[in-house]
């Protein structure tokens, strides 16, 4: 019996690591494509008024997307869809998804139309520091009107992605962001060759990318034969359940992502370039945050929900422990490395064309502030997933309200001594508060009770990461006057990776046998 349980857990573990590897690998590819996009954007737009206007237009639909699509909707839709599929079959799930799709398209279609008409008022609300008579304000209104339909397109795309994830098809939705970045790169290159306005081309590129992503995801849904099947619409109990679960989810996701707009609103009162500095810093911060956080959350939610539904408490506990350990193993060295090499990395990636040395320094200070909160934000994604899997959506909402209010107050206080870097620093500090508040309330769930051996492993991981950071700092300090920034960055990162891997094995956190056990199927 024990042998059977071990093999069962091994299969769960294999699926979990495979899902993480798939999503993380494709997300990394997307982020790298995003850096190419940002390098071109920095060179062609720099950190001036049109850049500030474009970044407002980029954030606006993405803010609502995170609420309607990747946030509350996914959390509410996936458990209900999976439950219908398991209990009543795929045909019933296809009818259910069709009803949800019809409602989503109708509601968001009306919302997008009204928002486009009211865009001057919306821009005045989210960027109050923009002078209404300025070129920056007029450009922001125009660009937001062009980009806002992306919300409808990407929300339907996210629904198709959630359906595929529920069938353990994680790759297609992870590929979609690559298409987004590829489209924007093509838009910039075309604009540069044709002599068009780059910010205008980028705005149209965002909406075009939504069409491309939606087409790709629709193709994948049909290929896997899980497409929605339209029947006469009824407001069934299942549909009502999704909207009931979305209620607190929308509020929670909205409150959480108000931080993004709070940063932008406050930064709009600072000198020109503040919004751009925060944007470029956050793009680097989002690399480990996105790759690790998205991969963990995407893989953990359906698998943890399944384990809890089957009352497999042991599997649930192991999944949670592996997710937390994976977050620290990947996110902590990333945060420390970015903090130590902030100015060098930004200089290498962005300092060219309209992006000068002053822009590099401003963005570097912002990146250092964001890095302080990188680890807790990644870990908080795992903690939030546990609440969602247990159908508790209100606790994260309450915590988000507290942390958002504190973030706004702290940002306002810190901009006086640190300018835009104070906004990033506030975000980093509040990240730790959010993590500890989420962790404190998790004690009610048995799957989050971790043993002493696990805590010891985490301590050794933290020690390994700080040893790595010390080596990276020494290498950068010793070589800074002898080599250019590109060589310095490559040598420092390479030495850091070697040091970290060596420390992990010397401290016996991992060994070859344990790694083989994860990836090699046990003998029958």
Closest CA to 285 of 260, 255, 251: 260
* pLDDT tens sequence across 433-466: 999 999 888 877 776 677 788 889 899 999 999 9
Write down the domain spans for the chain: 48-244
d(CA 317, CA 194): 57
CA dist 155 and 213 (Å) reads: 11
Confidence tier at 519 by pLDDT (50, 70, 90): very low
Is the model more confident about 43 or about 184?
Answer: 184
CA separation for the pair 401, 398 (Å, rounded): 5
Of residues 437 and 69, which shows the higher confidence score? 437
104: confidence class by pLDDT, cuts 50, 70, 90: confident
SS3 373: coil
Asked whether 65 and 151 are in contact (CB, 8 A), the reply is: yes
Q: What is this structure's pTM? A: 0.73
Which residues touch 117 (CB under 8 Å, ≥6 apart)? none
Residue 386, pLDDT score: 80
Mean pLDDT, the chain, rounded, equals 84
Q: Is the pLDDT of residue 7 over 70?
A: no
Using an 8 Å Cβ cutoff, are 339 and 284 in contact?
A: no
pLDDT, residue 51, reads 82
- Reduced to 3 states, what is the DSSP secondary structure of residue 267? helix
> Considering only CA atoms, which of 89, 91, 103 is closest in space to residue 229?
91
Look at residue 253 in the predicted model and tell me its pLDDT: 62
What are the backbone angles phi and psi of residue 122, rounded to the nearest 5°?
-65, -45
The answer to whether 199 touches 333, Cβ cutoff 8 Å, is no
Give the number of C-alpha atoms closer than 13 A to the C-alpha of residue 22, restricted to the C-beta side. 19
Res. 258: pLDDT tops 80: no
Contact assessment for residue 427 and residue 407, using Cβ atoms and an 8 Å cutoff:
yes
Model confidence pLDDT, tens digit, residues 159-205: 999 899 888 788 888 899 899 999 999 999 999 898 888 889 999 99
Residue 509: CB atoms within 10 Å:
19
pLDDT, mean of residues 400-422? 92
Band (5; pLDDT cuts 50, 70, 90)? very low
Task: Kindly tell me the burial class for residue 501, based on how many C-beta atoms sit within 10 Å of its own C-beta (0-12, 13-18, 19 or more).
Answer: middle
Q: Judge whether 293 and 378 are in contact, CB under 8 Å.
A: yes
């Amino acid at each position: 019996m024990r042998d059977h349980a071990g093999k069962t857990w091994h299969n769960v573990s294999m699926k979990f690591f495979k899902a993480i590897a798939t999503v993380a690998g494709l997300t990394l590819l997307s982020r790298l494509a995003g850096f190419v996009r940002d390098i071109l954007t920095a060179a062609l737009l720099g950190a001036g008024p049109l850049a500030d206007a474009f970044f407002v237009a980029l954030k606006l639909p993405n803010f609502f997307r995170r609420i309607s699509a990747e946030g509350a909707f996914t959390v509410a839709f996936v458990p209900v869809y999976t439950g219908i599929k398991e209990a009543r079959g795929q045909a019933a799930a296809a009818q259910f998804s069709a009803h949800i799709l019809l409602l989503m398209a109708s509601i968001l279609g009306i919302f997008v139309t009204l928002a486009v008409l009211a865009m001057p008022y919306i821009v005045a609300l989210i960027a109050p520091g923009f002078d209404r008579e300025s070129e920056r304000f007029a450009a922001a209104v125009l660009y937001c009107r062009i980009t806002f339909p992306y919300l409808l397109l990407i929300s339907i795309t996210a629904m198709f992605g959630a359906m595929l994830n529920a069938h353990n098809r994680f790759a297609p939705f992870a590929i979609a962001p690559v298409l987004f970045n590829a489209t924007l790169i093509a838009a910039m290159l075309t604009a540069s060759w044709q002599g068009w306005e780059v910010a205008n081309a980028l705005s149209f590129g965002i909406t075009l990318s939504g069409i491309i992503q939606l087409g790709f995801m629709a193709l994948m849904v049909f290929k896997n034969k899980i497409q929605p099947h339209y029947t006469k619409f009824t407001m069934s109990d299942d549909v009502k359940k999704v909207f009931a679960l979305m209620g607190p989810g929308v509020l929670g996701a909205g409150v959480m992502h108000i931080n993004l707009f709070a940063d932008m609103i406050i930064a709009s009162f600072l000198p020109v370039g503040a919004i751009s500095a925060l944007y470029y810093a956050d793009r680097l911060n989002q690399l480990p945050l996105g790759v690790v956080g998205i991969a963990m959350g995407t893989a953990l939610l359906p698998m943890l929900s399944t384990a809890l539904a089957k009352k497999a408490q042991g599997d649930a506990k192991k999944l949670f422990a592996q997710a937390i350990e994976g977050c620290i193993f990947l996110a902590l060295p990333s945060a420390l490395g970015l903090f130590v090499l902030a100015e060098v990395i930004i200089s290498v990636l962005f300092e060219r064309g309209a992006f000068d040395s002053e822009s590099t320094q401003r963005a570097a200070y912002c990146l250092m502030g964001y890095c302080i909160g990188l680890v807790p934000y990644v870990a908080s994604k795992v903690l939030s997933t546990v609440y969602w899997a247990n159908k508790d959506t209100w606790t994260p909402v309450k915590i988000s309200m507290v942390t958002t209010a504190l973030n706004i107050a702290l940002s306002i206080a810190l901009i006086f001594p640190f300018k835009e870097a104070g906004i990033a620093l506030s975000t980093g500090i509040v990240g730790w508060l959010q993590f500890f508040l989420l962790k404190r309330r998790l004690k009610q769930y048995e799957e989050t009770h971790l043993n002493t051996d696990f805590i010891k492993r985490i301590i050794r991981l933290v020690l390994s990461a700080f040893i790595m950071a010390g080596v990276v700092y020494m290498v950068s300090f010793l070589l800074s006057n002898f080599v250019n920034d590109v060589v310095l960055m490559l040598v420092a990162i390479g030495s850091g990776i070697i040091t970290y891997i060596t420390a992990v094995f010397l401290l016996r956190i991992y060994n070859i046998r344990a790694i083989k056990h994860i990836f090699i199927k046990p003998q029958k």
